[in-house]
């Protein structure tokens, strides 16, 4: 009785035959390439394309790896609100004026807003690309003028006569009151020592200007004295540098 063939021998034989066939085809193809100039040119072009593809792929992979390494070195990122255009004091914060950006948490400034607030305004002018801070945003529902005030200031409107006010929004001014020792006198006829002046408000910021009027942001402790002076004696605004 003839011996039974091992179970692995048919599989090994198939692999051996396939390898031999592949070797024969490669040899045949190489022979054709060596004999045909056209085949050599086609092969050369394919090799160039292959080299270019490998080079580009390597560069892209390197850049991605560098970006990932940089991101890992920065650590986690956080979402913040960033202005997409210049905002003036009192402007409403909405989806058209800000966008959400991701920045590394290690660079996140204190008090940065991380989501769009409802019905709030900027208190201080903001530049394009600037991150919005809680300290520069008004309370919910504040109007355009009240949004520019801080907890230490209040708005006071002064009458400056019929002529256009000589100040602009953003100016810092001192308010000077002018009084005399007696009442009912002609100011032009008095000597300098008979006229008294007093600074009733200092470093007040002009937040609105209309015909003959100016609205100032004044420190709370100066409001009463300013209102009293403005209602009884002439006042003047001194623009500060």
pLDDT tens for each residue of 176-217: 998 876 544 444 555 555 788 899 999 999 998 888 889 999
Is residue 60 over pLDDT 90?
no
Whether 149 and 123 have beta carbons less than 8 Å apart is answered as yes
User: If you average pLDDT over residues 28-35, what whole number do you get?
Assistant: 59
**Residue 21 — φ and ψ, nearest 5°?**
-65, -40
Global pTM exceeds 0.75: no
CA distance 158 to 174: 13
């Amino acid at each position: 009785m003839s011996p039974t063939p091992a179970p692995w021998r048919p599989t090994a034989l198939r692999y051996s035959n396939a390898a031999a066939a592949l070797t024969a085809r490669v040899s045949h193809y190489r022979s054709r390439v060596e004999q045909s100039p056209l085949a050599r040119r086609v092969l050369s072009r394919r090799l160039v394309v292959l080299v270019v593809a490998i080079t580009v792929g390597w560069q892209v992979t390197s850049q991605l790896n560098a970006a990932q390494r940089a991101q890992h070195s920065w650590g986690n990122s956080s979402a913040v609100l960033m202005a997409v255009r210049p905002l003036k004091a009192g402007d409403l914060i909405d989806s058209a004026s800000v966008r959400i950006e991701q920045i590394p948490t290690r660079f996140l400034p204190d008090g940065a807003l991380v989501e769009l607030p409802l019905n709030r305004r900027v208190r201080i002018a903001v530049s394009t690309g600037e991150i919005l801070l809680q300290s520069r945003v008004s309370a919910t529902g504040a109007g355009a003028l009240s949004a520019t005030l801080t907890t230490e200031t209040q708005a006071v409107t002064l009458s400056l006569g019929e002529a256009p006010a000589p100040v602009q929004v953003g100016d810092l001014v001192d308010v000077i009151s002018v009084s005399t020792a007696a009442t009912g006198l002609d100011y032009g006829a008095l000597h300098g020592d008979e006229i008294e002046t007093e600074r009733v408000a200092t470093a007040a910021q002009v937040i609105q200007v209309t015909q003959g009027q100016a609205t100032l942001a004044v420190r709370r402790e100066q409001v009463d004295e300013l209102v009293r002076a403005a209602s009884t004696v002439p006042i003047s605004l001194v623009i500060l540098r």
